[in-house]
Structures are given as structure tokens and as C-alpha cells.
Amino acid sequence: MSTEPASETQWREPDPPGSGVIPCVEAPAIPRETQLELLQLGLLQRLTEDRAMLLYRQGRIPGSYYTGRGQEAVGAAAGLCLGPDDVVAPLNRELSCHFARGVTVADVFRNFLARATGPTRGRDGNMHFGMPARGVFPLVSMLGVLCPVSVGAALAFKRRGEPRVALTFWGDGAMCTGDVHEGMNLAGVLDVPAVFVIQNNQYAYSTPTGREMVNTNIAERIEGGWSIPCQRVDGTDAIAAYAAIGEAVRRARDGDGPHAVEAFSLRMHGHAAHDDASYVPSELLDHFANRRDPIKRLRKRLELDGVPQSELDELHARVSDEVAEGLAEAERAPPADPDTIQDGVYAMPPSHA
């Protein structure tokens, strides 16, 4: 009897037999410190989002709220693969990538809570923020549009001969937009140091990947259609994702043109807080929760490699404190100020004088 539930997009490699958590791949070449950092970043996302979800349910977060549950490994891996001078445009599922860039829990909660001193000063909510000083572009909702924007940043690096890369993410749903095609095609033609990480989480809101595209092997399509090297990786395995994205980033930086990675996972939560995801088969959700939760998988790997439970528990406690402290700090921030609504519409306000 197969333990793997049917999904419309199958991960190519079958799961090992058994029912327990599948540990991340063994990677002695990746320093222990880095592996612990991946865990810390993934946990930061998980615990921040868990906390935010509670706040949302209490009515303290206005608007809607999105989590990246089940995809924390990918943003963390990409974030750690980038250097300080690289730039990135994360989307809704990549809070861990913001943290890797040095965005703080307080910054994040100041945005969720729409405070005056938050990254968008209350002009935008939930994951729709960036920190330009940390090379993080603020999310624009129109899916696909940040692909060409990232290609343009990479073009600037190439023009100036700077060894920097621009990385962006998108989902299986956004894979079907025209901008993604135009952006990837342009990246190839201009031969720029851009890295694309496609989060194939099997659903675009309620639509399974098989109804978004005929050939659901995104990596194969990117290689065959756009001639961009693309590795397909298990997106619930932080270590495998780190290795694959790291190689893509290195190659792009070395002048080898655009590179891509398809990270396969499952969106382990509704599209947003209001969505119960009843359209996702419960056995698929259970399967990922039990065997393919990226946080559990990485912890299991570290345990197998001899990191003491106590050290991992301590890490968890530290992250938990960091989230509580960040939230407390954000709650002390003043509310957004209506008198400032028109500030900054223009970088250079036109003079009619």
C-alpha cells in the first residue's frame, strides 16, 4: 500500500516507506551553523505567522492575512544564499527570506498592525512590504510583474560589471502569467544575473497546478522553453533547497546568465486566513503535516546528525522569545497618521510655481 496520497502534481521521487517525518538530506558539506540558521529562519517565519494568525482572529490585524506554512524552507534557503549586496523580491510565502535579509520581527509586525513607523507606514498591509535599505523590494500584488523588475535590477548589475544577483520568487499560478514569460525571455536574451525560484505548492488559491498548465513539470518547461537551467528540488527540504538555490546564485553571479529552481511543496494552509482550503484533499494535507513539514524535517536531520535535543529546544525558545519581544515592540509603535497620506506620492513633487 502506498503511503503517498494522490495529488494532481506528483513529486517525482516517491517517499521512503514508513509514516514518520522524513529527515532532510544529509549534507556534511553544508556547515552545521548554516543548517541551524536555516532552522532558526524557518521557525521565525512559522512562529511569527502563528502569532499573527491569532492576532488576525482577534481582529487586531486589519484586512487579510497570509502565511507560508509548509514553504518556510525555501525563503530561508534563498535568503541565506544571497550576499549582502544582492537584491530580492519576495512574495507572500517567503517571510523567512525577509528575516534572512535582517528585517526584524518588529518591522514585520509593524506592517501587519499598520503602524506609522512600519516599513510602509501603514500605506500597505500584510506581506506587502519590503525594506529597500536591505535590498528587499516591496511585494506588488499583480502576480508576475516582479519578474521583469528583477530582471531589470540584474541588468543594472551586468551593465556596471558588479558581481551581484537579483532573485525573485513566484508560484505555480503566477507561472501562467505573461510577465513571467516576458521576464524570463528577456533575462535570457540579455543574459543577466537573475535567479528565479518557483514555489510549486500545488495550488493557486483553489486551482490545482494540473488545471493551471498542461505540463506541470515547471523545471522541464523553463529549461526547454526559455533555455534557463532549472533544478527541481524538494521544497520541504531546507538543505536540498539551500544547495540548489546556492548553485543557481553562484552560477548567475559568475556570469553564467539567469538560473532557476523549482521548489516543490504544499501550501499547508488556506490561501489566506479566511480560507479553510476544503478543496485540498485532507489526506494530502495530513501527509505533508506528518511527513513533510519543513521545520520538522530539518530538526529531524539535525537530531540524526547528533545535535542535542536540548540545543534544538533552546533554539525554539529563543525564537519564541524573539517573536514575543518583536510583537511587544511593534505594539508600542504609533498608529498611522492621516496627516501624512500625501507624503511621498512623488520623489520630486512638481512645482507649479
Q: Does 182 bind other proteins (CB under 8 A)?
A: yes
Provide, rounded to whole angstroms, the least separation between the CB of residue 235 and other proteins: 25
C-beta of 88 vs 204, nearer to ligand TPP: 204
Out of 155, 175, 228, 260, point to the residue binding other proteins (CB under 8 A). 155
Question: What does 328 interact with, of other proteins, ligand TPP, none (CB < 5 to 8 A by kind)?
Answer: none
Question: What does 150 interact with, of ligand TPP, other proteins, none (CB < 5 to 8 A by kind)?
Answer: other proteins
In the chain, the amino acid numbered 149 is V
H/E segment holding residue 83? none
What is the separation of C-alpha 217 from the centre of its chain, rounded to a whole number of angstroms? 20
Q: Does 170 bind other proteins (CB under 8 A)?
A: no
Dihedral over Cα of 335, 324, 88, 218: its sign: negative
Gyration radius of the chain over CA positions? 20
What is the separation of C-alpha 200 from the centre of its chain, rounded to a whole number of angstroms? 11
Beta bridge partners of 106: none
C-beta of 181 vs 250, nearer to ligand TPP: 181
Distances from the Cα of 132 to the Cαs of 75, 161, 190, in angstroms?
A: 18, 21, 25
Provide, rounded to whole angstroms, the least separation between the CB of residue 147 and other proteins: 7
Provide, rounded to whole angstroms, the least separation between the CB of residue 22 and ligand TPP: 22
Out of 3, 10, 34, 185, point to the residue binding other proteins (CB under 8 A). 185
State the residues that interact with ligand TPP by CB under 6 A: 92-93, 141-143, 170-174, 177, 199, 201, 203-205, 267, 271
b/e code 65-98 from CB counts within 10 Å (16+ = b): bbbbbbbbbbbbbbbbbbeeebbbbbbbbbbbbb
Burial class (CB in 10 A: 0-12, 13-18, 19+), 160: exposed
Which residues are CB-neighbours of 103 under 8 A, at least 6 positions away? 119, 131, 134, 136
Q: Does 225 bind other proteins (CB under 8 A)?
A: no
Q: Does 128 bind other proteins (CB under 8 A)?
A: yes
Q: Does 137 bind other proteins (CB under 8 A)?
A: yes
Provide, rounded to whole angstroms, the least separation between the CB of residue 285 and other proteins: 33
Provide, rounded to whole angstroms, the least separation between the CB of residue 22 and other proteins: 38
CA distance 53 to 204: 21
Residues 63-122 that bind other proteins (CB under 8 A): 87, 119-120
C-beta of 134 vs 316, nearer to other proteins: 134
C-beta of 203 vs 226, nearer to other proteins: 226
For residue 261, which of 230, 227, 223 has the smallest C-alpha distance? Answer: 230
For residue 87, which of 162, 34, 36, 31 has the smallest C-alpha distance? Answer: 162
C-beta of 188 vs 210, nearer to other proteins: 188
Burial class (CB in 10 A: 0-12, 13-18, 19+), 317: exposed
Burial class (CB in 10 A: 0-12, 13-18, 19+), 33: exposed
Tell me phi and psi for residue 319, to 5 degrees: -65, -40
C-beta of 124 vs 322, nearer to other proteins: 124
Out of 54, 116, 142, 317, point to the residue binding other proteins (CB under 8 A). 142
Question: What does 154 interact with, of other proteins, ligand TPP, none (CB < 5 to 8 A by kind)?
Answer: other proteins
Cell of 92: 507572500
C-beta of 128 vs 232, nearer to other proteins: 128
Provide, rounded to whole angstroms, the least separation between the CB of residue 333 and other proteins: 17
C-beta of 97 vs 319, nearer to ligand TPP: 97
Give the footprint of other proteins on this chain (CB under 8 A): 87, 119-120, 123-124, 128-130, 132, 137-138, 140-142, 145-157, 159, 166, 178-179, 182-183, 185-186, 189-190, 344-348, 350-352
